[in-house]
Chain A
Amino acid sequence: MIRLEAVNKIFNQGRPNEFCAVRDVTLDLYAEHATVLRGPSGSGKTTLLAMIGCLSRPTSGRIFLAEKNLSGLPERFMTEVRRKTFGFIFQRFNLIQGLNVLENVLLPAYPLAPDHAELQQRGMNLLEQFDMATKAHAKVEWLSGGEAQRAAICRALLNDPQILIADEPTANLDTHLAQEFMRNIGKLKAAGRTILLTSHDPMVAEADCVDRVITMRDGQIQEDRYVA
């Protein structure tokens, strides 16, 4: 489904502080699989995830999504692909402070301008699905870590993306909430979504729903292991 061919990412190219975050990565990622990228800080897993999710472009190499070359697309089309294909869950949840939960959840659909009533309904359905309906009109700064996490999942799912990307999703959660998160990921995978996670939390890599664990170090793939 996603194919990476000799992907490199160099920051500050040509300057004294030039840094190569991803080196020559070639990889195939499959649909409806849950894949974990793991490795120490600075190993390049977040940079790789950002490139796969069309948040940034590789310095060289190509990324294909179902035979479509993403790395050559102009920004507008990259945004279009990002909007329709990927849902993001960030390490610090990145909910927008001052807005309520429902407003945060609905944000990804604003540029698409769907019917207002239909959009509200869609948002409420997602919140109900993740037991967050009662918090719909609460400001996000009042939420607990677990609630903020679930609000972030709802936001990531609003445009019904095929692929869900989560960067260090359990870094700010205790064990109980981390397990709950992985259970939710399991349900989403069972519903047919492709999951891409980065984490150095062993609990994530060892979760039942995970199909594949790719270990990275110094911007390269060190180990690529399928879980039975």
Chain B
Amino acid sequence: MKHFLRRQRYLIDFTVASLARRMGKNLGLLGVYTLIVFLLASVMLFTQSLRHEASLLLVNAPEVVVQRMLAGRHELIPEDYLQRIGKVRGVAAMYGRLWGYFYDPVVQANYTLMVPREHAPVSGEVKVGHAIARTRGLGLGDFLSFRSAQGQSFAFRVSEILSSDSELVSADLLLVSEDDFRTFFGIEPGLYTDIALEVRNPKEVRKVAEKLTVLLPDTRPILREEILRTYDALFAWRQGIVFVLLAGSLLAFVIFAWDKASGLSAEEKREIGILKAIGWDTGDVIQMKFWEGALVSLGAFLLGYLAAYGHIFFFDAALFAPVLKGWAVLYPKFHPAPFIDGLQVATLFFFTVFPYTVATVVPIWRAATTDPDAVMR
């Protein structure tokens, strides 16, 4: 084992000295390679942390939401549906929710208005999301005025600015009292936007949803796991879009790297002949070339990944945030929590380090298996 490791050290020594001989060319390659890994890893890390964040935020969301449908559209749900649902086994709690959207022409942005179940503000007051406060320049005690659908003016006093921890979801959120919500949107008492159900046992969620479909045929149950899946698909789609945009540069790099890695110059062929003539065997030459590919690609992978980690988690993904987060006007200030997915690292490693290393080793095979007597000519 000691002999094997020492031999690898000698081969690495030679490889490093060999790479240093073409310093400019190899540094250029390393730079481009690192940039590619950086871009790919940034997109992957950011999308992954968005998914992770979304899943963390949804932990406290109700397991099932029941929405009433009318002609295929979401309709307000009467309070008596709570009684109609009755006592479904496994449901720990159920309650009506009030929420809706409001377009603010002043900043040309959509807000989400909601009545919280607990700690609702008193009538005439509002709790606002960070992005709204930022965009409208609001502080505690300031007033926020809107025109309702009936054309009346409403002024709400800001009683709280929501914590920036959950800004990704609460950026555009306005929390108001139930009375204010109903008056503002003109929703009669006894009607809710939807009904939320909490199910104690996660394994029973699907069964509960099935029972609801039978019990209330004009409703649709929405499961939390479905919302998570939708988030997942949405972020995966956005990630895909960025990857497609990167595809051109990726392809250019692949061609460049393949040419660099697989094309053996006459000088390199001569060197292989010399090494074989002075006592290196085919395996030694292939291992040396393996180290050359591995050192370049592994170096680029580590540098690129570390740079991407810094970009996402210390500089808040400055390059990709607008595309990947997808907010039109109210950009949430999102500070992703450091999170690394092992499978994702392995995937990126496999698609960046592996092909380059193979591209360096394969052509060397042919050169290294020929007789070394060419150096005598």
Contacts and interface: CB of A to CB of B under 8 A. Distances in A.
Given A90-B375, A90-B376, A113 B7 contact: yes
Interface in B259-302: 267, 270-271, 274-284
10 contacts: A55-B372, A75-B282, A90-B274, A91-B376, A94-B274, A103-B14, A110-B13, A111-B284, A113-B10, A159-B279
Contact of B278 (A80, A88, A116): A88
A111 B279 contact: yes
A182 interface: no
Interface residues of B, number: 34
Interface of B: 3-4, 6-7, 9-11, 13-14, 17-18, 20-21, 267, 270-271, 274-284, 369, 371-373, 375-377
A49 interface: yes
B277 A88 contact: yes
B15 to A, nearest CB: 11
State the majority secondary structure of interface residues on A. helix
- Which 5 pairs across A and B sit closest by C-beta, in order of nearness? A98-B21, A83-B279, A113-B7, A79-B281, A50-B373
B17 A111 contact: no
Interface of A: 46-47, 49-50, 55-57, 75-76, 79-80, 82-83, 88, 90-91, 94, 96-99, 103, 107-108, 110-113, 115-116, 155-156, 159, 167
Given A55-B371, A98-B17, A90 B3 contact: no
A94 B17 CA distance: 17
State the majority secondary structure of interface residues on B. helix
B281 A55 contact: no
B277 A111 contact: no
Contacts of A94: 270, 274, 277, 375
B17 A103 contact: yes
A75 B281 contact: yes
A110 B17 contact: no
Given A107-B278, A108-B279, A56 B14 contact: no
Contacts of B276: 55, 79
A140 B210 CA distance: 81
Contacts of A99: 17-18, 21
Contacts of A46: 376-377
Contacts of B271: 96
B11 A110 contact: yes
Given A56-B372, A91-B376, A108-B279, 20 more contacts: A50-B373, A55-B277, A55-B371, A79-B276, A80-B281, A90-B274, A94-B274, A94-B277, A96-B271, A98-B17, A99-B18, A107-B14, A110-B10, A110-B11, A110-B284, A111-B10, A111-B281, A111-B284, A113-B4, A113-B7
Given A50-B373, A55-B373, A90 B280 contact: no
Given A55-B371, A55-B372, A110 B280 contact: yes
A198 to B, nearest CB: 9
Given A57-B371, A96-B274, A113 B21 contact: no
A80 B281 CA distance: 8
A82 B79 CA distance: 93
